[in-house]
Amino acid sequence: MTALALELCCTLMADRRSSANVGLAFRNKVLPQALTLIKSSLLQGHALLALQNFFAALVYSANTSFDSLLDSLLSSAKPSPQSGGVAKQALYSIAQCGAVLCIAAGDQKCSSTVKMLAEILKDDSSTNSAKQHLALLFLGEIGRRKDLSSHANIETIIIESFQSPFEEIKSAASYALGNIAVGNLPKYLPFILDQIDNQQKKQYLLLHSLKEVIVRQSVDKAEFQDSSVEKILKLLFNHCESEEEGVRNVVAECLGKIALIEPAKLVPALKVRTTSPAAFTRATVVIAIKYSIVERPEKIDEIIYPEISSFLMLIKDNDRHVRRAVVLALSTFAHNKPNLIKGFLPELLPLLYDQTIVKQELIRTVDLGPFKHIVDDGLELRKAAFECVDTLLESCLDQVNPSSFIVPYLKSGLEDHYDVKMPCHLILSKLADKCPSAVLAVLDSLVDPLQKTINFKLKHDAVKQEVDRNEDMIRSALRAIVALNHIRFGFHTL
């Protein structure tokens, strides 16, 4: 309804037959409501696009002062005594509407706004983080829509914000740099690639800038020049072995999004690296495939299908990072494109179930002096494996044999760590609904782990976080028991 109302406003303002009073009414009645709407953290999609068009229409058709509109937008980002600071999503909305407003107002207004924003970055780097945050997002949104190369050293001004002590400023600077590169790839893309190679401390943020470029190209169905693709791929593949998981994840996402643009080139290149001697490289290329599998139909679907086993059979890999990457990729396939993997599930499911088992070789003791701490390196893998099974129950139930999974695998999960028990309770509830006979057949063996969870007593000195987690776990177990009780009720009614 919001989008439709805003579209009606735009149509009326564009109609030359409308009287001057129409524009006045929109400025006095609708604009204040629009400035309230823009601060909503729920604003997105068609409503956000319609709001952007509304601000553009005010300048185009309603003879509204650009300067007053810009001031109103910037003022909407200021914290108020009643509601406090503005939500992060609202800052993105304000920046997008502001960018569209600037483009609609013409080159001169747009240029003066960019200069004003650049001055904020140079003057307020340490004194007003909220103002700088919005300025960076604003610059990025303008730069995505308009070439900013006429503004000397704008990229250097933005990259200076990487030194900020505030994480949200550094993230916004990364976003801004990537987006201004979209406006002029030949100028700014080589700059970003060079900085990634030469600025080790800023590498993570610069990779995020590169990701913004690639994601925008994939969304817009645009293609890079061949020379640019080769440079990007060389850089990304060189960073697959990074010791920092955050860097590897960004590299994988970049590779996955490029695969959506150039699947014929990327899929073979990723497949070759599944046999790399470096475990981190093998894990990174599998995660890259995960990022390339989206809900909508894509060119990559028919190219990846014959090669799926090359990636997913790495679930047999000796390295836990690689196995976890495969489990995460399998979950994405099951959620977004289940038809691509159904033929492989008879072979994959036993291997997936094996990842749910506690492996003693992945448990180690760390000596911290006065006391010792047990570290379970397999916990995240087990949690991911059960979450994958949960997804498969939704999309590929006909391929899952619950009888072979419930005992011993689900039973083991019900006795495991908190992070594993939670998805197991959810799985048990779903199986009780979808496969009641299989659950009833082994119900006696599930009573003990559920009872232990409900009766578990914390130590007297437990902190609030431990108390809250334990209460969440008990509620989760009780929901599973309610689902089991529905089986009994259902069978009695039959």
- Residues 447-467 have a mean pLDDT of 92
Q: State the pLDDT at residue 367.
A: 86
Assess contact for 251 and 207: CB atoms under 8 A: yes
- Residues 128-141 have a mean pLDDT of 91
Q: State the pLDDT at residue 486.
A: 87
Share of residues in the chain with pLDDT > 90 (%)? 79
Q: State the pLDDT at residue 313.
A: 98
Backbone angles phi, psi at 324, to 5 degrees: -65, -40
Return the structure tokens found at 48.
């956000």
Q: Which residue has the higher pLDDT, 223 or 492?
A: 223
DSSP-assigned beta bridge partners for residue 374: 365
Residues 52, 56, 61, CA angle at the centre, nearest 5°?
Answer: 145
pLDDT tier at 127, thresholds 50, 70, 90: low
Model confidence at 125: pLDDT above 80: no
pLDDT tier at 368, thresholds 50, 70, 90: confident
User: For the segment 168-190, what is each residue's pLDDT rounded down to a tens digit?
Assistant: 999 999 999 999 999 999 999 99
User: For the segment 43-80, what is each residue's pLDDT rounded down to a tens digit?
Assistant: 999 999 999 999 999 888 767 889 999 999 999 988 77
- Residue in the structure block whose two tokens are 């924003």: 117
pLDDT tier at 123, thresholds 50, 70, 90: confident
- Residues 313-331 have a mean pLDDT of 98
Q: State the pLDDT at residue 494.
A: 43
Could you give the dihedral angle defined by the CA atoms of residues 30, 34, 36 and 38, in that order, rounded to the nearest 10 degrees?
180
Report in angstroms the alpha-carbon separations of 188 from 140, 194, 210, 425. Answer: 13, 10, 10, 50
Check residue 273 and report its DSSP letter: G
Choose among 131, 193, 118: nearest CA to 160: 118
**Residue 225 contacts by C-beta under 8 Å, 6 or more apart in sequence?**
185
- Residues 462-471 have a mean pLDDT of 93
- Residues 421-433 have a mean pLDDT of 97
pLDDT tier at 268, thresholds 50, 70, 90: very high
Q: What are the boundaries of each domain within the chain?
A: 414-494
pLDDT tier at 221, thresholds 50, 70, 90: low
Model confidence at 490: pLDDT above 60: no
Check residue 78 and report its DSSP letter: S
Q: State the pLDDT at residue 59.
A: 87
Alpha helices in 337-415 (DSSP H): 345-354, 379-395, 402-405, 411-414
Q: pTM value?
A: 0.90
Q: State the pLDDT at residue 124.
A: 58
